[in-house]
Amino acid sequence: MTQEYAKPLPRPNRLSQPFWDGAKHHELLLQKCAACGHVWFPPSTHCPRCLSVEYEWSKASGRGKVWSWVVIWQRYFAAFEADIPYNVAYVELDEGPRLMTNIVGCENEAIYCDMPVEVVFEDVTPEVSLPKFRPQAS
Ligand SMILES: [Zn+2]
Protein backbone atom coordinates (compact mmCIF):
# COMPACT_ATOMS: atom_id res chain seq x y z
CA MET A 1 0.00 0.00 0.00
CA THR A 2 1.65 3.23 -1.12
CA GLN A 3 -0.77 5.67 0.48
CA GLU A 4 -0.43 6.18 4.22
CA TYR A 5 -3.33 4.92 6.30
CA ALA A 6 -4.57 7.88 8.37
CA LYS A 7 -7.17 6.16 10.57
CA PRO A 8 -6.38 4.76 14.03
CA LEU A 9 -4.65 1.39 14.07
CA PRO A 10 -4.78 -1.31 16.74
CA ARG A 11 -1.90 -1.45 19.19
CA PRO A 12 -1.68 -5.14 20.03
CA ASN A 13 -0.46 -6.12 23.46
CA ARG A 14 0.68 -9.48 24.81
CA LEU A 15 -2.93 -10.60 25.22
CA SER A 16 -4.37 -9.38 21.93
CA GLN A 17 -1.37 -10.12 19.67
CA PRO A 18 -2.72 -13.57 18.61
CA PHE A 19 -6.02 -11.98 17.55
CA TRP A 20 -4.22 -9.47 15.31
CA ASP A 21 -1.80 -12.09 13.99
CA GLY A 22 -4.85 -14.16 13.03
CA ALA A 23 -6.47 -11.17 11.32
CA LYS A 24 -3.26 -10.62 9.35
CA HIS A 25 -3.71 -14.16 8.02
CA HIS A 26 -7.43 -13.52 7.45
CA GLU A 27 -8.48 -15.76 10.30
CA LEU A 28 -10.76 -14.69 13.12
CA LEU A 29 -9.20 -16.16 16.27
CA LEU A 30 -10.96 -16.15 19.63
CA GLN A 31 -9.96 -17.44 23.04
CA LYS A 32 -11.74 -20.66 23.98
CA CYS A 33 -11.76 -21.96 27.52
CA ALA A 34 -10.15 -25.39 27.95
CA ALA A 35 -12.23 -26.04 31.06
CA CYS A 36 -15.78 -25.05 30.06
CA GLY A 37 -15.62 -24.34 26.30
CA HIS A 38 -16.74 -20.73 26.61
CA VAL A 39 -15.56 -18.43 23.79
CA TRP A 40 -14.95 -14.78 24.55
CA PHE A 41 -13.83 -11.40 23.24
CA PRO A 42 -12.10 -9.03 23.94
CA PRO A 43 -9.03 -10.99 24.99
CA SER A 44 -8.48 -11.51 28.70
CA THR A 45 -6.20 -13.53 30.94
CA HIS A 46 -8.96 -15.88 32.10
CA CYS A 47 -12.35 -17.24 31.13
CA PRO A 48 -15.05 -14.70 32.10
CA ARG A 49 -17.46 -17.58 32.80
CA CYS A 50 -15.48 -20.01 34.98
CA LEU A 51 -12.27 -18.01 35.67
CA SER A 52 -10.02 -20.75 34.29
CA VAL A 53 -6.70 -19.51 32.95
CA GLU A 54 -6.43 -22.45 30.55
CA TYR A 55 -7.47 -21.49 27.03
CA GLU A 56 -6.56 -21.87 23.39
CA TRP A 57 -6.94 -19.59 20.39
CA SER A 58 -9.47 -21.20 18.10
CA LYS A 59 -10.61 -20.18 14.65
CA ALA A 60 -14.13 -18.76 14.63
CA SER A 61 -16.61 -19.43 11.85
CA GLY A 62 -16.54 -15.76 10.88
CA ARG A 63 -20.31 -15.81 10.71
CA GLY A 64 -22.74 -13.89 12.85
CA LYS A 65 -25.50 -11.34 12.81
CA VAL A 66 -25.85 -7.60 13.28
CA TRP A 67 -26.64 -6.98 16.94
CA SER A 68 -26.74 -3.18 16.70
CA TRP A 69 -25.41 -0.39 14.54
CA VAL A 70 -25.34 3.37 14.03
CA VAL A 71 -24.74 5.53 10.98
CA ILE A 72 -22.34 8.40 11.56
CA TRP A 73 -23.26 11.64 9.83
CA GLN A 74 -21.04 13.93 11.90
CA ARG A 75 -17.35 14.66 11.44
CA TYR A 76 -15.75 13.35 14.63
CA PHE A 77 -12.41 12.31 13.14
CA ALA A 78 -10.77 13.99 10.17
CA ALA A 79 -9.51 10.66 8.82
CA PHE A 80 -13.10 9.38 8.51
CA GLU A 81 -14.53 12.48 6.84
CA ALA A 82 -14.45 11.06 3.32
CA ASP A 83 -16.48 8.04 4.53
CA ILE A 84 -19.45 10.02 5.91
CA PRO A 85 -22.06 8.63 6.22
CA TYR A 86 -20.45 5.43 7.54
CA ASN A 87 -21.68 2.76 9.90
CA VAL A 88 -20.28 1.37 13.14
CA ALA A 89 -21.80 -1.93 14.13
CA TYR A 90 -21.74 -4.64 16.75
CA VAL A 91 -21.77 -8.10 15.23
CA GLU A 92 -22.72 -11.03 17.42
CA LEU A 93 -20.70 -13.99 16.25
CA ASP A 94 -22.20 -17.48 16.03
CA GLU A 95 -19.72 -18.38 18.82
CA GLY A 96 -21.29 -15.74 21.09
CA PRO A 97 -18.91 -12.78 21.46
CA ARG A 98 -19.72 -9.37 19.97
CA LEU A 99 -17.21 -7.39 17.93
CA MET A 100 -17.33 -3.70 17.11
CA THR A 101 -16.78 -3.37 13.39
CA ASN A 102 -18.11 -1.92 10.14
CA ILE A 103 -20.62 -3.49 7.79
CA VAL A 104 -19.30 -3.41 4.23
CA GLY A 105 -20.62 -4.54 0.90
CA CYS A 106 -24.07 -2.99 1.25
CA GLU A 107 -25.70 0.41 1.65
CA ASN A 108 -26.18 1.72 5.20
CA GLU A 109 -29.94 1.74 4.55
CA ALA A 110 -29.84 -2.03 3.93
CA ILE A 111 -28.49 -2.90 7.41
CA TYR A 112 -30.97 -4.38 9.88
CA CYS A 113 -30.98 -6.13 13.26
CA ASP A 114 -30.17 -9.86 13.04
CA MET A 115 -28.89 -9.41 9.47
CA PRO A 116 -26.69 -12.48 8.72
CA VAL A 117 -23.10 -11.37 8.06
CA GLU A 118 -19.69 -12.92 7.50
CA VAL A 119 -16.20 -11.66 8.12
CA VAL A 120 -13.97 -10.14 5.46
CA PHE A 121 -10.53 -8.73 6.11
CA GLU A 122 -9.38 -5.32 5.01
CA ASP A 123 -5.60 -5.11 4.59
CA VAL A 124 -5.12 -1.50 5.68
CA THR A 125 -1.32 -1.57 6.06
CA PRO A 126 1.32 -4.20 5.28
CA GLU A 127 1.13 -5.24 8.97
CA VAL A 128 -2.53 -4.76 9.87
CA SER A 129 -5.73 -6.33 8.61
CA LEU A 130 -9.06 -5.33 10.12
CA PRO A 131 -12.05 -7.68 10.42
CA LYS A 132 -15.17 -6.22 8.81
CA PHE A 133 -18.46 -7.90 7.98
CA ARG A 134 -20.54 -8.17 4.82
CA PRO A 135 -23.97 -9.66 4.18
CA GLN A 136 -23.76 -13.45 4.02
CA ALA A 137 -23.98 -14.89 0.54
CA SER A 138 -27.27 -16.78 0.54
ZN1 LIG B 1 -14.42 -21.39 31.26
Distance 97 CA to ligand 1 centre (A): 14
86-93: strand order across its sheet: 98-101, 86-93, 63-72, 116-123, 129-135
Q: Poorest-confidence range of 2-6, 61-65, 66-70, 123-127?
A: 2-6
Write out pLDDT tens, residues 39-94.
999 999 999 999 999 999 999 999 999 999 999 999 999 999 999 999 999 999 99
pLDDT band for 3, please (50, 70, 90 cuts): low
Mean pLDDT of the chain: 96
Q: How far is Cα 4 from Cα 33, in angstroms, rounded to an integer?
A: 38
Burial of 79 (0-12, 13-18, 19+ CB in 10 A): exposed
pLDDT at 76: 92
Distance 128 CA to ligand 1 centre (A): 30
How is 8-30 classified by DSSP, letter by letter? ------TTTHHHHHHHHTT--EE
The answer to whether residues 112 and 106 touch, using CB atoms and an 8 Å cutoff, is no
Distance 52 CA to ligand 1 centre (A): 5
Q: How far is Cα 26 from Cα 24, in angstroms, rounded to an integer?
A: 5
Distance 127 CA to ligand 1 centre (A): 32
Distance 115 CA to ligand 1 centre (A): 29
Q: How far is Cα 117 from Cα 135, in angstroms, rounded to an integer?
A: 4
